[in-house]
Amino acid sequence: MRIGILTAGGDCPGLNAVIRAVVRCASADNNEVLGFRNGYLGLFENDFELLTRVGVTGILPRGGTILGTSRFDPEKDEQSIPRIKEVWEMHRLSGLIVVGGEGSLSAARDLCRDHALQIVGVPKTIDNDICGTDYTFGFDTAVSTVTDAVDRLHSTAESHHRVMICEVMGRHSGWIAAYGGIAGGADIILVPEHPFRISRVCDLLKQRKDQGRAFSIIVVAEDAHPHPDEDFLTKEQGAAIYRHDRLGGIGEALADEIERCTNLHTRVTKLGYVQRGGSPSAFDRILATRFGVKAYELVRAGQWGQMTALRGTRIVGVPLEAAVGELKRLDEEIYRVAEVFFG
């Protein structure tokens, strides 16, 4: 059997652990693994490398992906799918493992359903926003990075009696903000699922000051929005912050508004891509390894159109159809826990 594997979309810690696990399982069965470079683009350009057991030695703790990645969308260009089928036939692939986020897994679902390509999906993203799995790998490492940053911001905020805003990633869901904020002891956490009232944010900050706590930490998700009743963003600011392809900037706008309304000195740290980098946590290494082993089992069993998933403590296969299409928003129970510590 010859299997293909590719990593597509934004990178995250743990991708190499999946690649290693698939190669280790396949080589134990004397099966070949071709690694296509830079996501679906590698399949389109026939850019690949043979992955061997020796070749994947030492990659488990490495961040990023040894295969490279891109946001190339095979469905955008009419010529992509015939070309991908041609490359597939050229290598006589028995199946393909796509390690991707929402967008890449939606493409995998379509290629499998509409073009009869034999694909198994593996969910990855720091955002933890994929339905069908309790957690994606990459998330735990990103949360540790945010927690560490919030811990560090505490000491400088306290020394300078400032409000510190930490803007984090997460796309349209508030998982990273809520988990990182709870773990770091943030005083206010703003997430896309709950549009915030600027008056309440300022009241909480003033209340903390009046109670003798002259510093505050706010964790804000990149897609958090002001409540429409109290929207302080201009049309231009809104358009710049909530761009479809690249979110970011709500922290700065929020800081300006807080200073204007409260006179409290406010500073912003946009954590950005450090959240995606670095060595995976032990949890992410284990989850990614378990996903890789399961993905290989699904391929061997010919269970196409499935995605590996964590359900409770078990790794299972779930239909790609059920896993993509809708984003997994922040769990309300988690938000209620976060709210207990506001102010």
Q: Which is nearer to ligand F6P, 192 or 317 (CB)?
A: 192
Instruction: Answer yes or no whether residue 280 interacts with ligand F6P by CB under 6 A.
Output: no
Is there a contact between 192 and 277 (Cβ–Cβ < 8 Å)? Answer: no
| Cα 334 to Cα 330: distance, rounded to the nearest angstrom | 7
Residue 145: its H or E element: helix 139-160
The partner residues of 219 in beta bridges, in order of sequence, read 166, 189
User: Minimum distance between the CB of residue 126 and ligand F6P, rounded to whole angstroms?
Assistant: 5
Instruction: Answer yes or no whether residue 169 interacts with ligand F6P by CB under 6 A.
Output: yes
Q: Which is nearer to ligand F6P, 9 or 95 (CB)?
A: 9
Q: Which residues contact 60 (CB under 8 A, 6 or more apart)?
A: 16, 17, 20, 285, 289
Quote the distance between the C-alpha of residue 70 and its chain's center. 15
Is there a contact between 142 and 126 (Cβ–Cβ < 8 Å)? Answer: yes
Of 162, 171, 194, 270, the one binding ligand F6P (CB under 6 A) is 171
Residues 208-237 that bind ligand F6P (CB under 6 A): 222
| Nearest Cα residue to 10 out of 66, 68, 74, 80 | 68
Q: Is 127 a catalytic residue?
A: yes
Of 247, 264, 298, 338, the one binding ligand F6P (CB under 6 A) is 247
Q: Which is nearer to ligand F6P, 4 or 170 (CB)?
A: 170
Q: Which is nearer to ligand F6P, 136 or 306 (CB)?
A: 136
Instruction: Answer yes or no whether residue 241 interacts with ligand F6P by CB under 6 A.
Output: no
Instruction: Answer yes or no whether residue 118 interacts with ligand F6P by CB under 6 A.
Output: no
Residue 167: its H or E element: strand 163-168
| Nearest Cα residue to 181 out of 342, 40, 54 | 342
Alpha helices, DSSP H, located in 263-331: 282-300, 320-323
Which residue of the set 11, 77, 110, 127 is catalytic?
A: 127
| Cα 170 to Cα 128: distance, rounded to the nearest angstrom | 8
Instruction: Answer yes or no whether residue 249 interacts with ligand F6P by CB under 6 A.
Output: no
Residue type, 246: R
Count of positions on this chain that bind ligand F6P (CB under 6 A): 12
Among the listed ranges 40-48, 85-93, 164-172, 188-196, the one in contact with ligand F6P (CB under 6 A) is: 164-172
Which region, left, alpha or beta, applies to residue 229 given φ > 0 means left and ψ of -120 to 50 means alpha? alpha
User: Minimum distance between the CB of residue 120 and ligand F6P, rounded to whole angstroms?
Assistant: 21
Among the listed ranges 60-68, 123-131, 155-163, 302-310, the one in contact with ligand F6P (CB under 6 A) is: 123-131
Q: Which is nearer to ligand F6P, 246 or 314 (CB)?
A: 246
Q: Which is nearer to ligand F6P, 16 or 136 (CB)?
A: 136
Q: DSSP label at 187? A: S
Binding-site ranges for ligand F6P (CB under 6 A): 10, 101, 125-127, 169-171, 222, 246-247, 276
Residues with catalytic function: 127
